Structure 1
Amino acid sequence: MSEFSKSLSVSSSALRAQAARLRHVSENISNADTPGYRRKTVPFESLTDPTSQISEVKTGRVNLDRTELERIFDPAHPLADESGHYEGTNVDLMIELADAREAQRSYEANLKMFEQARQMSSSLTELLRK
């Protein structure tokens, strides 16, 4: 496997991982007002292919945030208990927006790396044709 192919493989695995992260962040944001919803997080793992010795990024199993759910007082809510409280969510929009921004920038950086490797490969091919 050429060095260009290896770099394309590494950056494409990182693109897939950041896309998965963005997908879970967007789910968290869309469910920020859903009673009982727990924030989802996705860990990244390094996966090394023993034959090619390429380390790629892989997403791990989706985890649910186990912090306390917000207790909301609203006796008129259908989920309220006898004290008038119900469990809200543990999604903090500021954290989700920060995670989304970080994932977006990481995605853009990996996309730039992918594009640079592709351009270098194309330029090398053109030089070899001459």
Structure 2
Amino acid sequence: MSDGMDFLKAIDIASSGLRAQAGRIRVISENLANADSTAQAAGGEPYRRKVPTFTSELDRKLDAHVVGIGRVKPDKSPFRTKHEPGNPAADANGDVKYPNVNSLVEMTDMREAQRSYEANLNVITATRRMIQRTLDILKA
């Protein structure tokens, strides 16, 4: 019955990929939601873009490496600055800092995360079909 266990392992491994990509999409959506926000205090720092990381973890129960969402790290790149003297978030020079979020980069990352999510979903779907076919053969 090791083939049946291999099928279940494949589903569990692909499920870890689904969870990791869902976590990545959550971080991307937070970045996009805050792309145009400003600091609450004059001259303060706005939202800083977050970057998800992934980890490879040995699942001893499965005896396989699975992926997990790792630490979410701040992007250290500089903030965008605009000269807007009337803005309440402006510093003494009239400059306002905006998040270091580039919507085009976030959308590209979102599409990549979506493709990875769909690939893992396809593994689960194909594996379930193979299990069903095996059961159909055994019933006959």
TM over 0.5: yes
Could you tell me how far 1:51 is from its partner in structure 2? 4.5
SS at match of 2:35: coil
Alignment of 1:89-100 (within 5 A): 89-100=99-110
Match of 2:130 in 1: 120
2:12 matched residue in structure 1: 9
Matches within 5 A, 1:35-54: 35=38, 36-54=46-64
More strand by share: 2
Gap runs ≥5 in structure 1: none
Residue by residue, what CA displacement relative to the aligned partner does 1:13-55 show, whole Å, maximum 9, x if unpaired? Answer: 0001011111111111111101211111111111112353211
Report the identity percentage. Answer: 40
Following TM superposition, the consecutive aligned residue runs of length 4 or more in structure 1 with deviations greater than 6 angstroms are none
Give the SS at the match of 1:123.
helix
Q: How many Å apart are 1:87 and its aligned residue?
A: 1.2
- What amino acid is the match of 1:59? I
Q: Deviation of residue 123 (structure 1)?
A: 1.1
CA RMSD of aligned residues (A): 1.2
User: Could you tell me which residue of structure 2 aligns to residue 26 of structure 1?
Assistant: 29
Structure 2: runs of 5+ lacking an equivalent: 39-45
1:50-61 to 2 correspondences below 5 Å: 50-61=60-71
Any idea what the Cα deviations from partners look like across 1:72-123, whole Å, max 9, x if unmatched?
2101110111110121110011110110010011111111111000111111
